[in-house]
């Protein structure tokens, strides 16, 4: 993969994190269960943290991580998660996360040495999201945010 394609992939990851932030925030605002809403807000914070790392990475390559486009989540997409059971919602999310994880693992494999730390964080966040949905699926909601909070530096929080 050449430098332009590599940077396109980083830019795509950055935009994906901006979408993820909006997605999780939107889900949280529609969630009736306050405990789950707080979990979704925590996931949104993780997306912000990763997005900031991707923005800094783009800047280190002379790119400007700015978009005039307002990132919104279509109501139809949200309804695919809000009109089904929690199990179904998490299962659907798992498929999306696994696909992203595969792409990010490939990106990490070709990242220049100077970028490895940032791209590793991108991969690690996707693994933390996967851990979250896996634990939610099996009913271990009490521990579902463990890896997410570790990445956010909130691992000492209950």
| Domain definitions of the chain by residue range | 3-152
User: Which tens digits make up the pLDDT trace of 63-107?
Assistant: 988 776 667 788 888 898 999 999 999 999 999 999 999 999 999
- Asked whether 83 and 30 are in contact (CB, 8 A), the reply is no
pLDDT at residue 156, as a whole number: 52
pTM of the predicted protein model: 0.91
Q: CA 76 → CA 72, 79, 143, distances in Å?
A: 12, 5, 30
- pLDDT(158) > 50: no
Residue 148 clears pLDDT 70, i.e. is over it = yes
pLDDT > 70: what percent of the chain? 92
CA distance 19 to 48: 10
Tens digit of each residue's pLDDT (9 = 90 or more) over 128-147: 999 999 999 999 999 999 99
Indicate whether 25 pLDDT > 70: yes
Give Cα 16 to chain centroid, integer Å: 8
3-class DSSP assignment, residue 21: helix
- Rounded Cα distance between 14 and 74, Å, is 19
Q: What is the CATH number of domain 3-152?
A: 1.20.1260.10
| Better-predicted residue by pLDDT, 67 or 26 | 26
The number of residues in the chain equals 158
In Å, what is the CA distance from 24 to each residue of 28, 42, 87, 113, 117? 6, 9, 16, 32, 25
């Amino acid at each position: 993969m050449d430098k332009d394609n590599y940077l396109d992939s980083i830019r795509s990851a950055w935009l994906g994190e901006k979408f993820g932030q909006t997605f999780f925030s939107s889900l949280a605002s529609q969630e009736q269960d306050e405990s789950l809403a707080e979990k979704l807000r925590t996931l949104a914070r993780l997306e912000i943290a990763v997005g900031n790392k991707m923005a800094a990475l783009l800047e280190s390559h002379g790119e400007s991580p700015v978009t005039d486009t307002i990132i919104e989540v279509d109501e139809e997409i949200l309804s695919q998660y809000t009109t089904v059971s929690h199990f179904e919602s998490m299962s659907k999310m798992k498929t999306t996360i696994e696909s992203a994880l595969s792409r990010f693992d490939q990106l990490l494999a070709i990242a220049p040495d100077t970028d490895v730390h940032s791209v590793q964080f991108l991969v690690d966040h996707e693994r933390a999201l996967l851990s979250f949905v896996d634990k939610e699926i099996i009913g271990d909601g009490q521990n579902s945010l463990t890896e997410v909070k570790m990445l956010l530096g909130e691992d000492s929080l209950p």
